[in-house]
Amino acid sequence: MKKQKAKVLLAMSGGVDSSVAALLLKKQGYEVIGAFMKNWSDTKDDFGQCTWIGDRKMAMKIASQLNIPLITLDFEKQYRKQVVDEMYKSYSKGITPNPDVDCNNKVKFPLLWRTAKKLGADFIATGHYARIKKIDMKKNVNTKSKSTTKKRGDKYNCELLRAKDESKDQSYFLYRLTSKDLEHSLFPIGDLTKKQVRAIAKKNKFQNFNRKSTTGICFIGKINLKRFLQKKIKPKSGKILDPNGNVIGQHDGIYYYTIGQRIGSRFGIDVNRGNSTQRKWYVASKNPKTNTIIAAPENHKLNFRKEIIIQQPHWINKRPKQGKVLSRIRQVGELLHSTLSYKNGKYKVILKKHITGVSQGQAVVLYSGLQVLGGGIISF
């Protein structure tokens, strides 16, 4: 009797990464079903057309070339409610959230898996630059997610690892997944570099082999964030203070500006620098209660932070032990040597050195070597 192929539902965006992922999965013997997710229809291209339309056309071309089916999944209602609306709420409180984390945790992975189960698929897959280590609990043998063809239901303990290509690693955005999520997930390109992915696409005559990588917010793309926020959050003027408490300017809403953001007329917010010889000034802190921004010149101590409180902690596997870890406060940011501590019900990360640009609401993700331990929301 012919062995039945394991079935996988692959998120295809029209980009080169998910296209190569489809090719690799098919070569590895999977029955591949492509899934284009329509999660946002407000972003337009240069011709006034919704960008998702062009993206889907490209996904359809690649699917046709690979002779795999492509379905379209409309999750826009869920995306607006669980990601965009929540983003507005956070910004209105003066907090800078990370919508890409919510996108993966609340929409992309759970809704894709729900659809996969309806279709009788064993796995879901994406074009993320990350890796999964699956440990077969029956045999206690490590397997790689890109090549396993075991069926759904097999027992694994799964760990999330950083990608081979550190410059493209996306594990930062995946830290809120669970071991159970990873058990039925595949990241086919996690062991490849971006250069290798493009080379594979070119060799197989994919039209998108040199297509520009997407930037900006997940599914929304690169936007003018201030104008985007102003659609829902009305301006509210307030004072800009220097480190000594002197009024040096006015702002039109603390929610439009992020800690670590450069200040200047070309950045949309300026201050009276007085006799300061420092040309570069930055948003050092924000006070939602008084609606004030504290600005400080480059290298001023107010711009630096060493201690971070972790709110809403999430661990992919078991809770890590207190001690040495590596931390990241932004995607593909520097891996910072840190110490994790737990006291009075609170997790705290103490960085080895003071750094700039630590903003409340963003994610701090912790690593042990290549393994992603988990993380949480930055608080002070």
Q: From residue 72, how far is each of 6, 132, 291 by CA, in Å?
A: 21, 26, 44
First to last CA, the chain: 61
Contact 256, 229 (CB under 8 A): yes
Enumerate residues 6+ apart whose C-beta is below 8 A from 4.
none
| Alpha carbons 252 and 236: distance in angstroms, whole number | 5
| Alpha carbons 129 and 23: distance in angstroms, whole number | 16
Which residue out of 16, 66, 160, 218 is catalytically annotated? 218
| Alpha carbons 101 and 303: distance in angstroms, whole number | 25
Give the closest residue to 271 by CA, choosing from 235, 244, 308, 290: 244
User: Quick check: helix, strand or coil at residue 255?
Assistant: helix
The structure tokens listed for 334 are 């520097």
- Does residue 158 have an active-site annotation? no
| Alpha carbons 14 and 62: distance in angstroms, whole number | 8
Q: Strands 156-162, 123-125: parallel, antiparallel or unpaired by DSSP?
A: unpaired
| Alpha carbons 344 and 31: distance in angstroms, whole number | 50
Contact 33, 71 (CB under 8 A): yes
Q: Strands 156-162, 185-186: parallel, antiparallel or unpaired by DSSP?
A: unpaired
Which residue out of 9, 12, 32, 103 is catalytically annotated? 103
User: Quick check: helix, strand or coil at residue 169?
Assistant: coil
- Does residue 218 have an active-site annotation? yes
Enumerate residues 6+ apart whose C-beta is below 8 A from 202.
209, 210
The catalytic residue positions are 103, 218
